[in-house]
Amino acid sequence: FFGFLARERMIPADPFLLVEKPRMEKKLIRPLSTEQVKALLGAFDHKLFPYFTVWTISVLILDTGLRVSEVVGLKADQMDFEAGVLRVMGKGGKERQVPFGATSKQTLWNYATRRGEVPDQSLFFVNRYGGGLCRVWVQKVMRRIGQRAGIQGVRVSPHTLRHTFAINYVRNGGDAFSLQRILGHSCLDMVKVYVSLADQDVAAMYRKFSPMDRLGPVPGSKRRVLVR
């Protein structure tokens, strides 16, 4: 408000110009579990081209962490099937290279085959009429399929799939710096959150499979005393 008054020269200057704004806490979106991912992907009806399209998009986001806006804007000439790399135009017009795996490669190839040639259309993902996709439509379809799959307690959306990719990437041994480049983040802040969550998973997994805990009574040790 004071900034507006200052710009309109209704006051000499914005009195809060040098006051540091409080940081808003970002609520982390819960990722999908492995069982929920399988349930979601299994709930699509591939006979319907629109659903087949969103299924393909879901697989791609789960494998690459792309933003839905980046996916619907993908062009065929941005895909290098031989190298397994996408050239993505991200936020701020910054281009980055995003790798994709063998599963996505086959999925994209199958989609391209079913899609066929669309005259005067450079976009890879199209609707049933050969036009481009709206990201809001993708979100609505994904939410509908999530309800059909019976997924509860987690918001089913492209953004959730992006978070799911990030968590799984770190869980599977990926490092923070390569994840930052893949996601197109300008800083490591958000990536550190993913790493922290993955570390919690590692700690929980360790407690399940601690070699010494599973050994049983340790020869030479005193009688166990429960330490809280």
**114-143 pLDDT tens trace:** 999 998 899 999 999 999 999 999 999 999
C-alpha span between 68 and 70 (Å, rounded): 5
C-alpha span between 217 and 65 (Å, rounded): 45
Q: How confident is the model at residue 24 (pLDDT cuts 50, 70, 90)?
A: very low
C-alpha span between 155 and 45 (Å, rounded): 21
Average model confidence (pLDDT) across the chain = 82
Q: Using alpha carbons, list the distances in angstroms from residue 110 to 46, 114, 116, 146.
A: 12, 6, 10, 23
The reply to whether 28 falls in a domain is no
Residue 73 pLDDT greater than 90, yes or no:
yes
The reply to whether 16 falls in a domain is no
Per the structure, the count of domains in the chain is 1
The reply to whether 185 falls in a domain is yes
The reply to whether 27 falls in a domain is no
How many percent of the chain have pLDDT more than 90? 55
What is the reported pLDDT for 2? 47
**137-152 pLDDT tens trace:** 999 999 999 999 999 9
Catalytic residues: 67, 91, 159, 162, 185, 194
The reply to whether 215 falls in a domain is no
Q: What is the CATH number of the domain that holds 48?
A: 1.10.443.10
Q: Using alpha carbons, list the distances in angstroms from residue 136 to 91, 156, 169, 198.
A: 18, 13, 26, 30
The reply to whether 122 falls in a domain is yes
The reply to whether 221 falls in a domain is no
State the DSSP H helix or E strand holding residue 88, giving kind and residue range, or none if neither.
strand 85-89
Residue 164 domain boundaries? 34-201
The reply to whether 210 falls in a domain is no
**Helix pair angle (176-183, 189-209), 10° resolution:** 130
C-alpha span between 133 and 71 (Å, rounded): 9
Q: Determine contact, residues 103/148, Cβ cutoff 8 Å.
A: no
